Structure 1
Amino acid sequence: MTIGCSAVLHAGLPFPYAEYERRQQKVFEAMERENLDALLVTAHGHLQYLSGYDARGAYFMPFPLILVPGQKPTFVVREYELGSVRPGSCIQEIVTYREQFDFAPVCADAIRGLRIKGRRIGLELGCWGLAPADVNALQAQLPDMKFADATRLVGTVAAVKTGLELELMRFAMEMTDLAVQTFQSSLRVGIREAEVAANIDREVERAGGVVQATSSTLLFGERTKLSHGSPKQHPIGNNQPAFLEIGGVKNGYAFGLVRSAVLGRHAETELLHDLSVEVLEAVVDAIKPGATAGEVDSAGREVLERHGCTKLLNHRVGYQTGIRWVERGNLSLEPGARDILEPNMTLHMPIILCGESGYLFGTSEHVLVTERGAEILSRTPHTLYRA
């Protein structure tokens, strides 16, 4: 089967072309199971997974990667971004358009040029990167084609990691652990959130890594009542809580982790943390090949039911990880989810509980699904750190 990548390492890509060929072939196999004749990949993380391109330019307009079994993948991108897409991806067939109104006719022409045998085209309708107006415009250009929702297809393939991916992810976790250790060692009365963040950046950079600042949360005191929050010039006082969610990143692969601390004593958040540990450990124990995502979620909620405080958890217990911190439409550990866990999946379980006073506090683990269960990848304990 011709795919459109050569089996060499491109200077601008983190993996050999053969790795992208393998991923595309897995997607073709999934397309066959779903009876799809073509697939338009538009989710930014999925574009990076299949082509290497980080999709930064795709925030402004759709950049569909068109996949048709037996044919070379075709990228449809904005002309302005061509200089970044060509060296940043393994895709050789690239079609360009200039303005938003050009997207649908140019993309439709590219699809017709591929001479698709059938008429069933998959779209990632439940992901970011494709607006309803884009879908309507494509339907108007391709009235004879039948569009199907293929939101979960690429994410399901990407959920199972290769050794090459896990090597990057383990390094990213080393950087996450270093960030956590720096957070803990920095805590003292009067230090500001922004100072701790600067300490983290400095130490991780010294180790040759980076953290994903856009997804990081670092909060002290009353500000731990915020669901997300970037560090400010806000100091921590005695007998106050501190909360960190941060992830080291390598070639787009992010490994998030939640860790909490108390400077002195703080009864309410300490109780929340104790309970979050119990929930987390039940969730981790439930992770094994063959378990459903919903069963894992239920294991955590059963702990809260026994304590009579189910309302403390108002979100899912975890999600699939890999390229980008999260991607809408990927596997989610939530009530009723039927996805079946497989070896070499990686999952993050942030168990953050909401107290009566509004504090959001807890802990997490990032695990690799193995034949025997869950391998915890962090080396920093998920217990409460006391400074």
Structure 2
Amino acid sequence: MSAGRFPTDVYASRLRAAAAAAADAGLAGLVITPGYDLRYLVGSRAQTFERLTALVLPASGDPTIVVPRLELAALKESAVPELGLAVRDWVDGDDPYALVGQALGGGTPTTAVTDSMPALHLLPLADVLGAVPVLATDVLRRLRMIKDAAEIDALRKAGAAIDRVHARVPDFLRPGRTEADVAADIAEAIVAEGHSEVAFIIVGSGPHGADPHHECSDRELRAGDVVVVDIGGPYEPGYNSDSTRTYSIGEPDREVARRYAVLQRAQQAAVAAVKPGVTAEQVDAAARDVLAAEGLAEAFVHRTGHGIGLSVHEEPYIVAGNALPLEAGMAFSVEPGIYFPGEWGARIEDIVIVTADGAEAVNTRPHELVVVPV
């Protein structure tokens, strides 16, 4: 088994579940090209090229991998060889879309494809099948939303790793250093603490903290700055961390401290609301209501959270209007923030996993405004 994937039986179980879901949906099967869905189902990190690579998963029958002969070596790092899947390789001049049609085995013409399939492949596949495929999102979304034990273990390890990075951040926050300087130190620490790479780094100091998606700049840190640090990356076998903490360079003024304390209560309220049966929008409302009661509703300008796994952002989304009931095994961020344009901002973010009776946070760094001595 490769260090970059789960044991083979994990993927075998996922393939069976995906085929059963396709059958329940009345589909001929699924056609999955490179992307997060393919990685989820067989552990493959293949990339999309002009030559078609696809997992063909019939609702009834054995799965097949259709792959260019020159890409065969890339399958060795996936679970495909150990799973014993049929491999149909092809060379330039062959019709790989016809191979997909053959592997589906006929029956209902309705086939579902991954939402990341390029039009370059979708259109000729539709010609061969005689119908435009539907998206496999509805078939796979529940499988990917409900994390299995292996995924939960991976998310815990990723959370612990990013916590170790946040523990080092105060040492990087010194007046006179730029946000870019701090980001470079954080990038090095993310990899040093066990991540395979950096997915994103936000260092928003002073007025830049009021921009939720600011990255970093050449602005120099100053005494009195409030600094938002939102960081994360994939931890093998590819499950992401994502955690935000807010720092103050020197003691904050009284109003900053007051507003931050409200934000902290809002984040706590949202985490406390998480349990099976509660809807995603109810968790969002739990955070929003605390802020609204203190006159800070307008300062909270984004959803409360997003699902996480192989992708940094995936379902479920913790947002108003999402009536999806939570289930044990779902994993998502809880990250309310407050933003005051031209002045400062703050955000507190943990990744939580829904348990049988509540929530388990994989991030355990203190939620208080972290004061960095000047």
Normalised TM-score (structure 1)? 0.83
Question: How many pairs were matched up?
Answer: 367
Q: Percent identity?
A: 23
Choose from 142, 158, 161 the match for 1:175: 161
Match of 2:86 among 93, 100, 103: 93
Q: CA deviation at 1:81?
A: 3.8
Question: CA 1:326/1:82 → structure 2, altered by over 3 Å: closer, same or farther?
Answer: farther
Match of 2:302 among 298, 315, 332: 315
Q: CA deviation at 1:378?
A: 1.3
Native 8 Å contact 1:354 1:361 kept in 2:
yes
Residues 200-219 of structure 1 aligned to structure 2 (within 5 Å): 200-207=186-193, 209-210=194-195, 212-219=197-204
Question: Which consecutive unaligned segments of at least 5 residues does structure 1 have?
Answer: 1-9
Q: 1:337 to 1:205 in 2, by over 3 A?
A: closer
Distance 2:52 2:298 in 1: 39
For 1:106 and 1:63, the matched residues in 2 are separated by 9
Judged with a 3 Å threshold, the aligned counterparts in structure 2 of structure 1 residues 347 and 374 are, in CA distance, closer, same or farther, namely same
1:196 is matched with which residue: 182, 192, 207? 182
Deviation at 1:194, TM superposition (A): 3.8
The corresponding residue for 1:11 is 2
* Large movers: runs of 4+ above 6 Å: 59-62
| 1:95-134 paired onto structure 2 within 5 Å | 95=88, 105-124=95-114, 127=115, 129-132=116-119, 134=121
Is the 8 Å Cα contact of residues 351 and 364 (structure 1) preserved in structure 2? yes
Partner amino acid, structure 2, of 1:179: V
Aligned twin of 1:4: none
Q: Identify the residue that residue 123 of structure 2 maps to in structure 1.
A: 136
- How far is 1:236 from its partner? 0.8
8 Å CA contact retained: 1:171, 1:250:
no
Question: Is the CA contact 1:46–1:155 (under 8 Å) kept in the aligned structure 2?
Answer: no
Corresponding residue number in structure 2 for 1:166:
152
Paired residue type of 2:141: G
Alpha-carbon distance in 1 for matches of 2:49, 2:220: 35
Confirm whether residue 40 of structure 1 aligns to residue 27 of structure 2: no
Do 1:283 and 1:297's aligned partners in 2 also have CA atoms closer than 8 Å?
yes
Query: Of 299, 302, 323, which aligns to 1:338?
Result: 323
For residues 140 and 23 of structure 2, what CA distance do their matches in structure 1 show?
13
| Residues 56-77 of structure 1, C-alpha deviations (whole Å, 9 max, x = no match) | x227776432211343323344
For residues 301 and 366 of structure 1, what CA distance do their matches in structure 2 show?
18
Aligned 8 A contact 2:187 2:201 in 1: no
In 2, the alpha carbon distance for the partners of 1:334 and 1:197 equals 29
Instruction: Tell me the secondary structure at the aligned position of residue 216 of structure 1.
Output: strand
For residue 11 of structure 2, what is the aligned residue in structure 1? Answer: 20
Shift of 1:45: 1.6
CA contact (8 A) 1:62 1:130 kept: no
> What is residue 366 of structure 2 aligned with on the other side?
381
Query: Aligned pair in 2 of structure 1 residues 217, 97: CA closer, same or farther (>3 Å)?
Result: farther
Q: For 1:63 and 1:338, locate their aligned partners in 2 and report how far apart those are by CA, in whole Å.
A: 36
Aligned residue in 1 for 2:139:
153
Aligned pair 1:277/2:264, yes or no?
Answer: yes
Question: RMSD of the TM alignment (CA)?
Answer: 2.9
* Counterpart among 320, 327, 352 of residue 367 in structure 1: 352
Q: Answer with 57-66 or 107-116: which moved more.
A: 57-66
Whichever residue aligns with residue 174 of structure 1, its letter is: A
Q: Normalising to structure 2: TM-score of the pair? A: 0.86
Q: Does the CA contact (< 8 Å) of 2:207 and 2:344 recur in 1? A: yes
2:311 is aligned with 1:324 = yes
- Per mean C-alpha deviation after superposition, the further-off stretch among 278-287 and 75-84 is 75-84
| Aligned-pair CA distance for 1:225 | 3.7
Matched, 1:31 2:16: no
3-state secondary structure, aligned to 1:58: coil
User: Which of residues 17, 38, 48 is equivalent to 1:58?
Assistant: 48
SS at match of 2:336: strand
Say whether the 8 Å CA contact 1:254–1:324 is kept in structure 2: yes
